[in-house]
Amino acid sequence: MKLRNLLLALLMLAFIPVSFSQIFVPGELQNAYQNDTRSEDGHPGKHYFQNSADYEMVVDFDPASGVLEGSATITYHNNSPDSLSRIIFRNYMNIFQKGVERDFTIGHHDLTDGVEIWDVVVDGQELKPDTEHFRQQGTIMSLHPAKAIAPGGHSEISLKWKVQLPTHISIRMGQYGDGNWHVAYWYPQISVYDDVSGWDTTPFTGSAEFYNDFNNYDVQINVPDGNLVWATGLLQDEGKHFTGKVLERLEKSRESDSVISIISKDEMFGEKVLKGNHPWHYVAESAPDFAFSVSRSYIWDATSVEVEPGRHVFVDAAYKHNSKDFHKVARLSAKIIKLFSEEVIGEPYPYPKLTAFNGGGGMEFPMMINDGDAHSHKGTVHLTAHEIGHMYFPFHVMTNEKYYAFMDEGLVSFLPRLVEGIILDDPNPMTGIMQGYAQTAPTMRQVPLMVPSDMISDYSAYRTHAYTRPANAFYMLQQELGEELFKEAMLEYIHRWRKKHPTPYDFFNTMEDVSGKELDWFWKPWFFDLGYPDLAIAEVRDDKSGRLVMLLNKGTMPVPVRLYVKYEDGSSEIIRKKAEVWKEQSALVIRLDTKKKISFISLGGMHVPDSYPGDNLSGE
């Protein structure tokens, strides 16, 4: 009886798809395959759906106090097959509310009583706070209207709110000197309802960032007289705001690949450039978020770049007059966008504009980046390329970063390095991040990539999890497939999932589908397991036909083999093997077809991470 059961179990295992034979696939994904919302070859399924919203908002913002008041009318479109009896919102600014869970310490100056919300109406029904219809807990707000939203239906929601923005601490947004603001996370935003997990009810605690639908925004921003506003989307009715000479410069910059000074230092502090105080009206289509910046003293430069025949992207930079490097950023941004569009990714930049605001740190929002001053030209290139890379991931291909931050930050810690290599003429742009990963990989702060990112509260562990380890993994994948095939597969992944919500499994399956390779041997150690890279030279000995070099994979990560052999006569050779050699073995014998005496042998190099390189040298 036991033997028959064993045989039946083995027969059942034989019918499991090869691509899933070694890696764990959660039940939520298995259900998605069964429901045909996703396909096991990496395509969106026949029944894939995605919800969206149309936001019409009016906001009054006071740069002196940091107080923001807003009103919104939202049309939410339920494209799912499910009736939605509740609507989940995220109130990001409640991260500053007293007593709320967060990943970092906030000074008492910026602690608040939370976002004040009133006049909430859903499809004509007013919902009162702290009732069964309207509840808030931390950064999550849940509305329970009397009538569910039917499949294929929509709901009209209106509300008003008031929030005190932080004036002392700046986490991805905030105040940068007197009256200079980058404003983000500022409005109640409808959460994502998807085919994998239903409503996203994961609280925002500060580290793990985006998971949004692609929405339409129509926003009017009111600020005191004399302030300029830059925002996600395109400014409407520019003629209401700017004098003739400013309009002429703007028009010229949209047709030029030279940087045009729109507003200079002298003009900002002296000559008037604004006509008067009018609402700043911005419109954005199919964008996953909306942010804006405000200043009455920043310099403003602009240029444009052609990303495909007949389509130019408007690129501008707003910055402090005493910034050390931001005078370079408009030109640099245009060059980076060109390289992404034509060489590194090959997908034209997906938005009509990019604004670089000289705030602090480094952070991305759709069509905007918020960057501080870097300490060197190399740092400026790195920071700018990284944040612009986010316009592709997650703002063009939107994975749930709360679960899988590595599909955003990891890709954008790898692909922009290729841009940096071109701009800085650096043949080894990955060296720093590879060495950093090799050092941290064997430590207790190593967390497998498929562990949900929001579960990682230790910041150094989160950085390795989201940035350095996946950047190494994607680079190793490129080396395994070859640059051309990797690029082809990446482009296909983007084309299948642009303006959609893929999971890492959709990425894995697409890469296998396009490459024609089964890659579970790669996915499992790099994305699912604990481990570290460590190759070693175990033995060098003579053989009748030459010399044998035995190599060991003492770690668990499959990495390429690069063996450098220097002979006493001054000659040398390099032997390379792809990481696939470790697919089914942990020992490898390389035969040197020569009788020449060896001076020394070294294993590895700048493009191969190794946590314990002390055993990578033999001989001299």
Residue 271, pLDDT score: 64
Hey, what are 280's tokens? 């700043």
Other CB atoms within 10 A of residue 378 CB: 14
Average of per-residue pLDDT across 49-73: 98
CATH code for the structural domain at 1-47+298-531: 1.10.390.10
The CATH 2.60.40.1730 portion of the chain extends over 51-237+278-297
Per the listing, tokens 């199919």 go with: 286
Q: How confident is the model at residue 620 (pLDDT cuts 50, 70, 90)?
A: low
Residue 207, pLDDT score: 87
DSSP state of 407: G
Strands (E), 200-259: 215-222, 228-231, 234-235
Query: Mean pLDDT of all residues in the chain?
Result: 94
CATH code for the structural domain at 535-619: 2.60.40
Q: Which residue has the higher pLDDT, 549 or 595?
A: 549
301 vs 250: CA distance, rounded Å: 9
374 vs 372: CA distance, rounded Å: 6
pLDDT digits (tens, 9 = 90+) for 482-528: 999 999 999 999 999 999 999 999 999 999 999 999 999 999 999 99
Over 60: is that where the pLDDT of 16 sits? no
CATH architecture of 51-237+278-297: Sandwich (2.60)
Please name the helix (run of DSSP H) or strand (run of DSSP E) that holds residue 523, with its range, or none: helix 520-523
Q: What are phi and psi of 536, to 5 degrees?
A: -150, 150
Over 80: is that where the pLDDT of 351 sits? yes
192 vs 402: CA distance, rounded Å: 12
Contact 313, 307 (CB under 8 A): yes
Over 90: is that where the pLDDT of 323 sits? yes
Residue 266, pLDDT score: 87
Based on DSSP, count helices (H) and strands (E) in the chain, helices before strands: 13, 31
19 vs 25: CA distance, rounded Å: 10
Contact 288, 366 (CB under 8 A): yes
The CATH 1.10.390.10 portion of the chain extends over 1-47+298-531
- What pTM, to 2 d.p., does this model score? 0.94
CA distances from 316 to 85, 226, 289, 352 (A): 43, 19, 19, 12
